[in-house]
Structure 1
Amino acid sequence: MTDTNTDAGTDSDALGSPTPVLSFSPVVLPVPGRPVDLQLRVTAPATGTGLPVILLSHGHGNSNHLSSLHGYGPLADLWAELGFVVIQPTHLSSKTLSHLHADTPEAPLFWRSRAEDMSRILDRLDVIEGAVPQLAGRMDHDSVAVAGHSLGGFTAALLLGARVTDPDDVQQADLFEPRIKQGVLLAAPGRGGDILTGAMAELFPVFRSTDFSRMTTPALVVAGDKDDSRHFTEMGPDWHADPYHLAPGPKTLLSLVDAEHGLGGISGYDAAETTDENPERVAALGRLTAAYLRTQFREGDNAWQEAQDALTTGPGAVGRVESK
């Protein structure tokens, strides 16, 4: 399916005027040994070359389709509009696939497989580019970022260098992906250890061993200051800032004012489970994250500073920024 999407635009700003977006799905990658083929959605500007790539990892969630290539339109469309190629895999943890492999040992999170999906995508960027009409020759294969929301943020952290101990074989898992140059963690889980006292921590013991001390790749950590994940910890919203505080620099923290776990509704347009629906917050988050990534990829680009000045200062600030 190919769509031309011009409805996700924002007014002209420091990042430039909005452009038409092309969205194509599914791109199907056969993967030997995987229970089902890896299916992707690719969203890209209709024009332009040398386009950097964002690998977007969906969350777990309770909805039927947002945790798949069909979700995260509010971010994917805006990022593409602002000059990125966004590639969204449907991980095996997606509710759209759970009926096919509920008894698989790694179910239901498929935490290792999720990270491996991203490496498989990087292995076959040429195939993906060639499969999408009007995209051939337009991607910058050396400018790759990973972004992820919630469980997707955990996936992104592993690819950026965070480590966990596999609860099945008690071996440390190293899923670091050197081809990824930077990352954006959106409402990602925080530290493991004794602060995990909630019911979900008992169900998913892999989170107990999370270690950010070797997550060295540059990253923007986004946390809502009202994202209180009591099902994991009594630590409060600060838990989601752990990937910033506990990882070595360079790291940047964007704390969004009044944002809960959905960060205003990034997982889908008009998603019923969004508890803090705020389209303006989503638009600001999209602009800020795109500006951060663009400045990191383009030496001398001032988009990140301009976006901060516009959106994180003054009485109408959507959030606060700190860096190390």
Structure 2
Amino acid sequence: MKALLFLICSQFLVRALSAADLSSSGPFKVTIMEFPELTDAHRENRKVPIKVHLPDGRELCPIVVISHGAGGDWDTHFAQAQHLASHGYAVLCLEHIGSNLERMRQGMRFMKNLNEMIRDSNEVLGRPKDVSLALDCAAEWNGSHPKLRGRLDLQQAGVMGHSFGAFTTMVVCGMRPALDWLTPRVKPGKGLGPDLRDRHVKCGVALSPQGADEPFFIRESFASLKVPLLGISGTEDRQQGGLPASNRLDAFKLWPEGANRFIWLTNARHLDFTDSTGSSRRAMSSPTREDVQPIVRAATLLFFNSHLRADSEAAKQLQGVLLKPYLRGVVTNVEVLR
């Protein structure tokens, strides 16, 4: 009898979630504002360009800061930012100047530049500080900017990133970077690096989260996670240095107990987790991106609603059986691990 009741309830929830279609745009129109000349006076005036996606209206908006991967820019997640903003979030898309597209293209030595930037101590340890600067800017804008004043809920801030941006997200949420592979060397040269957590951040979403091993984390890095974190990866999402996709999943066992979740998608590839659609600067293509994005958008929105809006129903919906309506094409299965 209990099994039958559970099945009936599950089928009802699946139908309700399908009707809502959380992967589609929300009710708000979105305004875009660009701040290309922002600098951090505490870091030799490092430039930190930010593009803001703001829902129209007067409502107070939770904040999501987005960090792109190596070789990206502030438009790498354009469509995802638009999606979140259309559902009522103020989205701040960063551009990390030491690991952006311009840096990747220098001398047209793409792989050499990639390997250098993900081991560059200034960039590896500097990216989380870019996120903190963005939140400092949000506080300033909330008090004085003509279009942003009174719109930004500084008490409800999350962060999201892909690949190198996933690393950035994980560190901002409390995980500790490894020093082992950084150049120039940072004392003591091995082991855990500094605590770069931003205490304004209430939760995070790591797309293609890093596992243990070169170049970002060691096994001890994960235990210091302080806020709820959602990881999303897939069976074809290989890691740096030839490590298999399963290395990302295996590291989830090292995350501390709590409200953390890990979504594992069959046949999802690395570049599927970004989407620059709608921007003038298109990111690298992937043949399976359109199959992956619906479930990523729905899951991301549910997770942020759960932790930045205290939406208890959203928390209940973040489970495998209720995400199955978003499966498309080659993505034939979804697991939600706790």
> Which residue pairs with 1:302 in the alignment?
313
**Structure 2: tracts of 5 or more residues without a match:** 1-17, 107-112
State yes or no: 1:312 paired with 2:324.
Answer: yes
The alpha-carbon deviation at position 90 of structure 1 amounts to 1.0
Asked if the contact 1:164–1:209 (Cα under 8 Å) also holds between the matched residues in 2, the reply is no
Task: Say whether the 8 Å CA contact 2:32–2:53 is kept in structure 1.
Answer: yes
Alignment partner of 2:91 out of 63, 86, 101: 86
Question: Per-residue displacement from partner, 1:150-169 (whole Å, max 9, x unpaired)?
Answer: 00000111111111243412
SS in 2 for 1:176: coil
Aligned match of 1:46:
56
Matching of residue 29 in structure 1 with residue 42 in structure 2: no
Structure 1 residues 278 and 120, CA, compared in 2 at 3 Å: closer, same or farther? closer
TM-score calculated relative to the size of structure 2: 0.75
Deviates more, 1:15-24 or 1:70-79: 15-24
SS of equivalent residue, structure 1 residue 248: coil
**Per-residue deviation at 1:12?**
7.0
Q: 1:1-324 residue pairs with structure 2 within 5 A?
A: 13=20, 15=22, 17-26=26-35, 28-32=37-41, 33-34=43-44, 36-61=46-71, 67-91=72-96, 92-97=98-103, 107=120, 110-129=123-142, 134-166=147-179, 167=182, 168-171=185-188, 172-192=193-213, 201=214, 204=215, 206-207=216-217, 211-229=221-239, 231-234=240-243, 236-250=244-258, 251-262=260-271, 264=272, 266-269=274-277, 273-306=284-317, 308=319, 310-312=322-324, 319-323=334-338
In 2: Cα distance, 1:156 partner to 1:34 partner: 23
Judged with a 3 Å threshold, the aligned counterparts in structure 2 of structure 1 residues 278 and 135 are, in CA distance, closer, same or farther, namely: same
Q: How far apart are 1:79 and its partner, in Å?
A: 1.0
User: TM (normalized to structure 1)?
Assistant: 0.78
Cα gap change, 1:124/1:97 in structure 2, threshold over 3 Å: closer, same or farther?
A: same
Identical aligned residues as a percent: 22
Q: 2: distance between equivalents of 1:184 and 1:237?
A: 18
Distance 1:131 1:318 in 2: 47
Q: Could you list the runs of 5+ residues in structure 1 that have no partner in the other structure?
A: 1-10, 62-66, 193-200
Larger Rg: 2
CA distance in 2, matches of 1:170, 1:300: 43
Q: 2: distance between equivalents of 1:189 and 1:315?
A: 24
Residues paired across the two proteins, number: 293
Tell me how far apart the structure 2 counterparts of residues 218 and 113 of structure 1 sit (CA, whole Å).
23
**Mapped partners of 2:311, 2:275: distance in 1:** 32
Work out the CA distance in 2 between the residues paired with 1:60 and 1:210. Answer: 24
3-state DSSP of counterpart to 1:258: strand
